[in-house]
Structure 1
């Protein structure tokens, strides 16, 4: 799963943040409507020091997963060779006899185990990317809010879903500068996460059936 596709699917947050009561009160006194600003979240991800650091660390996890996936190749080759051998041995058997054959059953079990291991590796990578993006968003959101409020705005919109906005309403550069200017938001904490962490989290968030 590509990093930007996850951003598009999971972090296309039309980040609607409520302004502080003081900001609302000021706009009320001036009889003005709520101001909106826009942010290009993908640019923040690609250009900020923290976003680049996260991409580098995710690439390291991806390389680790790919190495582990390549280590499955000998088992896959062994399974293919065994399948070819059994095709000759069981050629004249019925479908039911093949299903009940101990060698065929053992081969099917090996294939299922291999597929589960491969799927688990892919799931680890996707879960790691998802959690990393979630943590990135949590770190960026307070900065976005701070810049938004400094502009007297009450809403932040995703630039990619906005048809037209004047340059002075785009806070992307200001957010990147704020992130890069704070040592605490220049690096990311990326560690590998097992796919089970994401599936358990999804299960906990799923409401019970009525």
Structure 2
């Protein structure tokens, strides 16, 4: 999932420039569209106020969901004990007789309900993280664009996709500074989500957002 990458890969084109006013203007336009800067989104999420707030709030949701998952342990133990009891009781019956046995059917239903509940908790955590990261990305994106424009850049590349770059092309610190300097971009909006909240979100996450 590429939530915080503006461009996954980029090529920088260099044009020959003639020493005339028209050529100079053309050069400026070309530079705007081809000059690239680099941003380390992992650092943004780790060091910025909004990134730290995001992680703190997500951890609160994780703790809540983990507590609920742990509360399922007695039911899991009860199911295992019942399965062992039925295995001993029904060992001499045929597969068809076991399938038609009311106790075996009741146990299968309990097992399905347990598995559904456990899977739902995991899906709720994943959905909460997905939407929270998407919302933070939407807060970060305008700041990245602003810093890009101030540098005359037309492309921003995630540092994960760069093998080498000169320090002066790295805008990470500038982005963090602008994020932290605005109260509106210091906090993340995080709330626990239901699985239904993420209907279609996985597909959307696979496509670049505006500005990506």
Tell me if TM exceeds 0.5: yes
Alpha-carbon spacing, 1:204–1:29, altered in 2? closer, same or farther (3 Å): closer
Deviating more after overlay: 143-152 vs 96-105? 96-105
Paired position in structure 1 for 2:79 = 79
Alpha-carbon spacing, 1:108–1:28, altered in 2? closer, same or farther (3 Å): same
Tell me how large the CA RMSD over aligned residues is.
2.2
Paired position in structure 2 for 1:118 = 118
| Shift, 1:129, TM fit | 0.4
Paired position in structure 1 for 2:168 = 168
- Give me the whole-angstrom Cα distance separating, in 1, the residues matched to 2:49 and 2:29: 40
The higher radius of gyration belongs to: 2
- Give me the whole-angstrom Cα distance separating, in 1, the residues matched to 2:25 and 2:159: 24
CA deviation map 1:31-63 (0-9, x unaligned): 754211010011101110000001000000000
- SS of the residue corresponding to residue 156 of structure 1 reads strand
- Give me the whole-angstrom Cα distance separating, in 1, the residues matched to 2:176 and 2:205: 32
- Give me the whole-angstrom Cα distance separating, in 1, the residues matched to 2:29 and 2:200: 48
Name structure 1 gaps, 5 residues minimum.
1-8, 17-24
Paired position in structure 1 for 2:12 = none
Paired position in structure 1 for 2:70 = 70
Alpha-carbon spacing, 1:186–1:115, altered in 2? closer, same or farther (3 Å): same
Deviating more after overlay: 59-68 vs 71-80? 71-80
What TM-score do the two structures reach when normalised by structure 1?
A: 0.84
Alpha-carbon spacing, 1:96–1:150, altered in 2? closer, same or farther (3 Å): same
**1:1-210 matched pairs, under 5 angstroms:** 9-15=1-7, 28-30=26-28, 33=31, 34-202=34-202
- Give me the whole-angstrom Cα distance separating, in 2, the residues matched to 1:29 and 1:110: 70
| Shift, 1:15, TM fit | 3.7
Please identify runs of 4+ aligned residues in structure 1 that moved more than 6 A: 203-206
Name structure 2 gaps, 5 residues minimum.
9-22, 207-212
- Give me the whole-angstrom Cα distance separating, in 2, the residues matched to 1:106 and 1:177: 59
| Shift, 1:188, TM fit | 0.7
- SS of the residue corresponding to residue 157 of structure 2 reads strand
Aligned residues: 190
